Every structure is written in C-alpha cells, then in structure tokens.
Amino acid sequence: MKERSVIVTGAAGFVGRNAAEYFADNGWHVSGVGIGDWGKKNFNDWGIHEWVEAEVSVESLMDLGTIPDVIIHCAGSGSVSHSFSNPKEDFEMNVSSLLQVLEFMRLKCPNARLVFPSSAAVYGKKADAPIKEEDSLDPVSPYGYHKVIAEKLCESYSKLFDLNISIIRFFSIYGPGLRKQLLWDACEKIRNSSSKSEFFGTGRETRDWIYIKDAADLICRMSESKNKFEIINGGSGKRVEIKELLEILAKQFGEGIRITFNGQERGGDPEYYLADVSKAKELGWQPETYLEDGVKACVIFYKENR
C-alpha cells in the first residue's frame, strides 16, 4: 500500500508542527515548508521528513519534490492586533500565501485535498449563543476580513478549478508550546505580580477553547473528507468566561492571586464566542481534553520554558 503524503505549510508554527506530528504518528509521510531555521533534528522531532525553509510559494512547494495527497495550509499570521498595525503584511501572510498553495494544487496536484485552518474571527460580533457555520460573516478586524477573503478564494478555486477543499473555522486554540496570546501572556503577568493581576475587559467575555491535540485530530479527520468543498467549526462547544479561565490558570501558581479587569474593550475582540460543533461531531470527532487539564499543561510548559 502506497504511503500517503502530506505537505504542511507553516510547519514550524504552533498549529503546523502539531498537525505534522499528528499525521506522522498516523503513518503519513510529512513534508514541510515555511519560515523557521530548524536543524534536521528539530523538524524530524515533529515527524517531518523534508523541510524547505522559505516563504510559501509555488516554487518552494515544488522544491519539496513530492506530489501530496493532502496539503495543510497553516502558514500565516494569527494576530488580530498585528493586523491593525500592519494590515498589508497581514493580507500577504493570510491571503497571498494561500493563493500560492491553490496555484500549486491547480498546476501540480489537482486531485489533492487542501485543509485550511481559518478562524472564528470571520463571524465578528455575535450574540451570546452557539455560532453556526451558516451564520452571517461580519468581521471586526483586518485579520477577520482577510480570513473571509481567504475562504472565498478557496471557494472560487474549488468551483472553477474543481479542487477539493475543507475549511475549519477554529475558535480559540491553546496548548503547551504556544508562546503568545492570552494564556502565555497571563502566565507572564501573574508571575510578575505579587497578589493582583489586571486584564482587559470585564471578565464576562466568553470564548470557546479547543486544545491543540483535539484541533490536530480534527484537521486529520477533515483530510479524509470526500466533499468537494465544505466549512465546519472547530471548537469544544463549551462556553467559558475569561474570568473563569484565568482563575483556573491562577490556581496553578498558588493561592492568593487575585484576578481583576479594567473594563476596557480592545479593538477586534468580540464579546462572545461559542461554536456550534454539530458538523464536526458528525464526523465522529469529539474533543477529548478537559479545560482544567489543558490549562495545567500550558502552565507547566510556561514554567519550564519562560
């Protein structure tokens, strides 16, 4: 039986390297391309057999010398704040790089499947209720708009060039190894404070947290899809207030740490996010990681690597 092959773009990043490892553990031949000057041992540790350090382009994908069964496009920026300060660069990272992947597929591997991790940022501000894939798209940041454009680009290539494409709108992915965003920043803030740590917002804002291993599992399942074009949500389906999350995290640093909020809203941060994950569960997928266990793993990683 022929070994199945997958290319992971942005494989040096948080989602990319975990996806690469997950595919390798499931018997796939994994190649990677992206920015990240890894020594051979480093990329081999994540299950990657060939690595090309370069911007994602038709040429760099061809340099891998493989015609893949699947491409996982994880390259790009995941920062809402960066998209406000550098919208052009965010567009190039999140839209232009995807165009290169689609062109590579159109020209070299039209029968392959693309799995594209998109973002719940496409939905924008919503009511405090589960968000369905069919709900309207109304982003509130350049990052969100660029993800909408990227999704439409995928749809156009699927319809006009008959490409197989699956899009996952991930909500808040977290896990050990992520050295940015709320959990890592909160660890920094709590470690550097004596008894009180203050955060933006009211604490009543909600997010839907999906652990990185569960996200990688969903990506892998979507790679087996037979649908020509599809979009699903990737989340836990559980509503968690920011205050609750930070209190869980603070307990890992000991007792007596008080979490407070300044009441100020940050641009591009919707108040509520909760995924309806019915479509994902129809695939037989189920998030396995309890929030408390996932947060504990993040704090352990932080303490070992700060």
Q: Would you state the structure tokens that stand for residue 143, as one six-digit string? A: 């990052």
Q: pTM of the prediction?
A: 0.96
Q: Give the chain's mean pLDDT.
A: 95
- pLDDT tens profile 127-158: 999 999 999 999 999 999 999 999 999 999 99
What's the CA gap between 200 and 184, in Å, rounded? 15
What's the CA gap between 292 and 273, in Å, rounded? 19
The alpha helices in the chain, defined as continuous H runs, are 14-25, 40-45, 58-63, 80-85, 87-91, 97-108, 142-161, 181-191, 212-222, 242-251, 278-281, 291-305
For residue 229, pLDDT beyond 60: yes
- pLDDT tens profile 56-86: 999 999 999 999 999 999 999 999 999 999 9
State in Å, rounded, how far the first CA of the chain is from the last one. Answer: 44
pLDDT at 306: 83
Phi-psi region of 47 (alpha: psi -120 to 50; beta: other; left: phi over 0): left
**CATH, domain 5-175+208-237+275-288, list 3.40.80.10, 3.40.50.300, 3.40.50.720, 3.40.50.9100:** 3.40.50.720
